[in-house]
Every structure is written in structure tokens, then in C-alpha cells.
Amino acid sequence: MINKSFLSICIASTMISTHSAQIQTTDLPEPGFEKRIEKYVNEIRLIDTHEHLITEEERIEKADQLDFTYLFSHYAIEDLISASNLKGIMNIVFSNDFPLVDRWELFKPFFKEMRNTGYARAALLACRKV
């Protein structure tokens, strides 16, 4: 009779030796690859940035209605709702029916909680250019 431990070891070693590793290593790219990628990207005629914001023409038309909340009006609002756990508060923050200063005061503590998310970082990067 075959020892069960010995059989288990044989099966395990067979399985290990017949399967290749999932992690594969390759040689590093030749120096200057960053410049080659940049050159190639700069030669592309169109890059779809997948924008969800309104056009510049619409922004100009609605200039009197837009404020800081516009930068957070798409995906970032979900992070704000998660941070506040109160969708109703965000409805007030994003409403022009209340004074801007009051809406900022409501917004500020929740922004501090979500400021490191990808969507908040995008809004902050946009603000640096303003």
C-alpha cells in the first residue's frame, strides 16, 4: 500500500513542476523609453479625454450659475455623499438656492474626508490652473 503522505508529496511536486509562474519578468526597456512614448503620444491626432463637463460655450452662458460645486458635480459627488452619509446635505450644497458661503461651510468638512480620492484630486488639479 502506498503511503498517503508520500502520494500527496508526489502529486504536489508534479503540479508545481508542470505549472509556470504567473509572474513573468522581462528586461528593462532601453533608455529613453519615456521620450519615445511621449513622442508617440504627441503624434496622435486625437486623445479622447472622456469629458463629462459642459462645453466652454455652455459655461460662458451659465457663468452666473456656476461656482466651486461644478468641479465636484459628476463622479466626485458620490465620494462626497459617502463622506457625509447624507445625500440631502449634498443636495443643499449643490443648489444655487442657498448662499455660496453657507454651502461652502457645509461642503468643507466632507471635502476634507474625500480630498484624497481620485475624483477630488482631479478637481484640485483643475483649481490650480484657475
Q: How many CB atoms lie within 10 A of CB 2?
A: 7
- The domain ranges of the chain are 67-128
In angstroms, the CA 69 to CA 62 distance is 13
Q: Which of 8-12, 23-27, 32-36 has the lowest mean pLDDT?
A: 8-12
CB 80 within 8 A of CB 90: yes
Give the tens place of pLDDT for each residue, 7-18: 566 565 555 555
Give the tens place of pLDDT for each residue, 56-102: 899 899 888 888 888 888 788 888 888 887 778 888 888 889 999 99
> Which pTM value belongs to this model?
0.53
In angstroms, the CA 121 to CA 111 distance is 11
